[in-house]
Structure 1
Amino acid sequence: MGLAWQQGPLSTRAVGQFLTAQPLPDRVLFAEPLWRRMRVRFDGAWVADSEDVVLLHEPNHYPVAYFPIADVRDGLLVPEAKATNHREFGRTKWFTARSGDKQVPRAAWQYTDLPEYADILRDRVAFAWRAMDAFYEEDERIVGHAADLYHRNDIRQTSRHLVVRDGDRIVADTRRPVVLYESGFAPRWYVPRDDVDQSALAPVDGQTFCPYKGLASYYDIGDSKRGAWSYLDAWPEVARVSGLVSFEPDIVDVYLDDRKLALEPGQTVTPHGIDRGLDPSEMPARAGTE
């Protein structure tokens, strides 16, 4: 969960609440300096490179990076004739990205009639994520969307007793689970493979992608569809859960210290998958230049 998407505080589906005497507006947008060097590649070349990026958090959207026009390669962006209108920011000008024989329509946009309160976005452009070859912070590739500064994962080892059952069958039994605390979500419990009955896990097609953890593979457990998942090669930042197995408590029975777990209200996760245009080929070796 980030600041404005899924169940974040600025999302329309927030799990928490602001304790204010007067209700907040239906939509609250937040922009801030990224404080990181960000670069963009297109047609095999660097086309934007800036240490002055602004990150926009808009309700129910992933964060979007806005680059100063001065930090974008001259001649890359060709204005399109048709404009659209943003509900808060007004007229939106669109650009085709052109480099050599390659051109991609609606590859970038700019707000050209900004109200004074949104002046932080003036003379900046944002790139459509899938229109570009890749985005980088320094020399490390960022996939999925711009990194949300308010999303974090903390992993802790514990000696609590975790048991997973599929009916009468014990699927997992461990006293050394790992708990992953992901901002805004209930804890997720991961079990070492040695403490899982591997014969109970039937791999299934269809992976999802988390920009903060990597590519998740899923397993059926008996008649319980996609009751478990594993990040087989998790990002280095969460490497402690690589290869471990986590179980969905609303699909199979998960007991923690003899207490049956349930999916917490508001904890539905919106998965990233191929239907979002995310390509698994982006996953390996994300660090380094291409």
Structure 2
Amino acid sequence: MSEHHSTLGRTVMVVPTYNEAGNIAWIIERLRTAQPLVDVLVVDDGSPDGTGAIADQIALADQQVHVLHRTAKGGLGAAYLAGFRWALEAGYDVIGEMDADGSHQPEQLARLLAGLEDADLVIGSRWVPGGSVVNWPWQREALSRGGNLYVRLLLGITVRDATAGYRLFRRSTLERIHLDEVRSTGYVFQTDLVTRTLQAGLVVREVPIEFVERIRGESKMSGQVAVESLKRITWWGLRQRWNQIKGRPQAASTRELQATR
């Protein structure tokens, strides 16, 4: 059992859910076992299958588990933003992201915590040396690898897995990247926050993880969702490059780009 580094301060993992009744108790138990000092915040978007009620029962029995209920399904990014705001108000020093379906293994969270010692944002990466995926068809791996290559080329960044959702932010990072200006609500949200962190001059580190495709429930990712995310990134990247050519300040450029989404 590997506990988190006390030098990082209070840590909470934000876990967004929609219809994860078959997974939520299982993933919370794994997380609490792997990292007993790390708290959990479940952000449930009004799941009709009772996910929120299950999380409430767990929270009643464990004071390190919290639940934030949202009334409608508003998208992954919107759920994370709500969770981040809650965590910042609660005074956490480190705020993380992870999926509820087991694809992000709690047993590997120690790698991210160690990486955050000298970084501002740590990403659990599938596409750095040592990273891998399990049970993915080749088409989905090609789409993810190709999409991330496209992001690197278009946005001019070096992060190899900018779309990954297993992350740890320092509190100071979230306070500097202007969360109140973020308009991304879908999967493009992940790329948005990476880019904002880099533009703020902060350190982004990637550590290898093994990503495991869910075995219970239905995936929220589809080809249509991935294509829509790439469309948004294309528009964002082209506008960003145009503003750079025109010599406009980066901060102003970012705000304008967000307003177009």
| Smaller-chain TM-score bracket | under 0.3
More helix by share: 2
More strand by share: 1
Q: Who wins on radius of gyration, i.e. which is larger?
A: 1
Q: Tell me the TM-score normalized by structure 2.
A: 0.25
